[in-house]
Chain A
Amino acid sequence: MRRELCAALVARAARPDLVFLTGDLGFGALEPLRDALGERFLNAGIAEQNMIGVAAGLASEGLEPWTYTIAPFCYARAFEQIRNDVCFHRLPVRLLANGGGYAYGVMGPTHHALEDYGVLSTLPSLRIFVPAFDEDVAATVAAAGDEPGPAYIRLGRGERPEGRVVPAYAPWRRLRAGDGPVVVAVGPMAGIAWSAFAEDAADGPELWAVTELPLSSNPPPSDLVAALRGRTLCVVEEHVAQGGLGQALAAWCLEGGIALGGFRPIAAAGYPSGTYGSQGFHRRESGLDAGSLRERIGARIGA
């Protein structure tokens, strides 16, 4: 999604208040943005805590700062800056986090982001965007950019199935109808799930993509709520189960008196074999690839 991100920000670069800070990343991708922004593009160096503190200072003066780095170097390294400097002050800093989930693959676990939105969902006023498809990035940048408060944007790789047309952007989108289990997939996992169930018949799963969190700011739409009653909910996410959307959505249903027929979370399992590989390898190990999803969600689970 980096190319789409760069294009969306270049389109926004005419806004005089926009300032972009990168933690020394973006080589081979963000040069057009650097050229468009001039002195408003800053390489803040390998110093993420400072970068986010500086961004909070910029935002407090009415500027529109965007920070960019690899996801773990943002939410994990600079968590206290996000909490204290950005969220406590409700400052509109846009935190761009590249490589959500296992996206950095064989780069290893230090570069993965498996607990980012769970941790960040605990913070006041922070809105979280997890675009599912490359086509979502422009709308995500527009939505996050116009937010009056802070935003975290988890970027990954769009997984649109070949031949499918992505519906217009919305925080919740029904990608296919079906009378089977209700599958809610976060961000790019929606594309993987779409591939898994695209050809299923009417008794197959109903599939929803969710791209904004937490539920307190983006509750499920009424159509989804109606579909959930009495059916099995499967939440698919490239994030650990603890603090993930699965837990949050199950609790939301309990609080709302929505009786599910079953609950089947499918989440990142970490590193069960103790070995490392591509994003696809790690997804397979967690059961987050299309084949595993068919096996775990498909015909074996009744509606």
Chain B
Amino acid sequence: MARRGHTLTAESRPHGAEAPAPAPIVAPALAPGLLTLARWRLLAMHREAGVGHVGGNLSALDAMMLLHHEMLTGRDRFVLSKGHAAGALYVTLWSRGLITEAELATFHADGTRLPGHPPARGLPGSRFGTGSLGHGLPLAGGLALAARLQGRDGRVFCLTSDGEWQEGSTLEALVFCAHRRLANLTILIDHNRLQGFGTTAEVASLDPIGRVLSGFDVEVREADGHDLADMRRVLTPGTGRPVVVVLHTVKGHGVPAIEGRLDSHYLPLTEEQVREAMLGSAMLGGATGETA
């Protein structure tokens, strides 16, 4: 297991703690196979804990791994607005050596630092506790504004869900960030098209969300959220405006039994489903897009 470049410790320091000097990124690219390993670990973790919400973790994992292994340095920030993808965050931080294997085993257990949504304090590599949707983008806007006011370089990445754009506070934040032309901000949308009790199109459609948001003063880009090369292409810095990246993803990605299924939002995986997913990706040599 690669545990390279603890570059996120500066970002994750508890408030008031002295900031350690940011270390350089050691890994130039997300190593082939690491993504598969992270997916397996995520599945195993959810399976061991007997908890659901895995679908929205699997749709977001690839983007989170790419950001944390290739893009984030000590001067950058990451905000997970879709806090129900906490498992993917924990596994990503584990893959960067910020959470130990032993701690990962406490996921969802009594006394854990790793609850179903990221905690507010005390988790290395995670600045904000989230979970109630609509909070991450205002927070990220504050980080981006702070960098501007403090004359600092660095980018802010905020990963939102697609259903989360039904929250008024998310749109409030978009208006604010666009108006302030926070070009150091990149907003990712995990567009897996499924929310709690239906598809986004059925429940309260903003589709096509990329075209809808292009009506704001932001730069909208779109990519396959499971294709690393495609994501690298769209995650370059913006010029003059915030960047909104619509990541077309599949809920439950990598687990055939639940891919694109609404119940993947809630139901725990069975052992058979996990085994099938692991065998499938092993036989394929990894899921789509894992090679650079």
Min CB gap B38→A, angstroms:
27
Q: Mark B129-154, 1 if CB is under 8 A from A, else 0.
A: 11010110111111111110110000
Restricting to A66-86, which residues have a CB under 8 Å from any CB of B?
80-81, 84-85
Are B129 and A84 touching (Cβ within 8 A)? yes
Q: Mark B172-183, 1 if CB is under 8 A from A, else 0.
A: 110110011000
Please, which residues of chain A bring their CB within 8 A of the CB of B137?
50, 53
Among B120, B138, B150, B179, max chain A CB count under 10 A is at B138
Return the contact of A54 from the options B121, B129, B176 (Cβ within 8 A): B176
- A60-B127, A62-B146, A88-B121 are known contacts; what are 7 more A-B pairs with Cβ within 8 Å? A45-B176, A49-B168, A54-B176, A57-B139, A60-B139, A60-B143, A88-B129
Are B150 and A61 touching (Cβ within 8 A)? yes
Please, which residues of chain A bring their CB within 8 A of the CB of B273?
none
Task: Indicate if B16 sits at the interface (CB-CB under 8 A).
Answer: yes
Please, which residues of chain B bring their CB within 8 A of the CB of A148?
16
Min CB gap A62→B, angstroms:
8
Min CB gap B85→A, angstroms:
17
Are B128 and A85 touching (Cβ within 8 A)? yes
Return the contact of A53 from the options B142, B146, B149, B175 (Cβ within 8 A): B142
Are B176 and A81 touching (Cβ within 8 A)? no
Task: Indicate if A89 sits at the interface (CB-CB under 8 A).
Answer: yes
A19 to B146, CA, bound (A): 9
Are A60 and B142 touching (Cβ within 8 A)? yes
Q: How many residues of A contact B (CB 8 A)?
A: 32
Task: Indicate if A58 sits at the interface (CB-CB under 8 A).
Answer: yes
Are B121 and A90 touching (Cβ within 8 A)? yes
Min CB gap A42→B, angstroms:
8
Min CB gap B144→A, angstroms:
8
Please, which residues of chain A bring their CB within 8 A of the CB of B145?
42, 54, 57-58
Are A63 and B146 touching (Cβ within 8 A)? yes
Return the contact of B138 from the options A19, A49, A63, A88 (Cβ within 8 A): A49
A80 to B142, CA, bound (A): 17
A97 to B139, CA, bound (A): 21
Please, which residues of chain B bring their CB within 8 A of the CB of A49?
134, 138, 168-169, 172
Task: Indicate if A234 sits at the interface (CB-CB under 8 A).
Answer: no
Restricting to B1-38, which residues have a CB under 8 Å from any CB of A?
15-16
Q: How many residues of B contact A (CB 8 A)?
A: 32
Q: How many A-B residue pairs have CB under 8 A?
A: 109
A42 to B181, CA, bound (A): 13
A39 to B135, CA, bound (A): 24
Please, which residues of chain B bring their CB within 8 A of the CB of A88?
120-121, 129
A51 to B129, CA, bound (A): 18
A58 to B172, CA, bound (A): 17
Restricting to A102-144, which residues have a CB under 8 Å from any CB of B?
none
Are A53 and B132 touching (Cβ within 8 A)? no
Task: Indicate if A198 sits at the interface (CB-CB under 8 A).
Answer: no
Are A81 and B149 touching (Cβ within 8 A)? no
Please, which residues of chain B bring their CB within 8 A of the CB of A54?
138-139, 141-142, 145, 173, 176
A58 to B140, CA, bound (A): 9
Restricting to B86-145, which residues have a CB under 8 Å from any CB of A?
120-121, 127-130, 132, 134-135, 137-145
Min CB gap A227→B, angstroms:
39
Are B146 and A61 touching (Cβ within 8 A)? yes
Return the contact of B139 from the options A44, A53, A90 (Cβ within 8 A): A53
Min CB gap A46→B, angstroms:
9
A204 to B198, CA, bound (A): 67
Min CB gap A249→B, angstroms:
30
Are A61 and B169 touching (Cβ within 8 A)? no
Q: Give A61's nearest chain B residue, CB to CB.
A: B146
Are B141 and A89 touching (Cβ within 8 A)? no
Please, which residues of chain A bring their CB within 8 A of the CB of B150?
61, 63
Are A19 and B149 touching (Cβ within 8 A)? yes
Are A57 and B146 touching (Cβ within 8 A)? yes
- What are 21 A-B residue pairs whose CB atoms fall within 8 Å in the complex? A49-B134, A49-B138, A50-B141, A50-B175, A50-B176, A52-B138, A53-B135, A53-B169, A54-B139, A54-B173, A56-B142, A57-B139, A57-B140, A57-B141, A58-B143, A59-B142, A60-B15, A60-B127, A61-B147, A81-B135, A89-B121
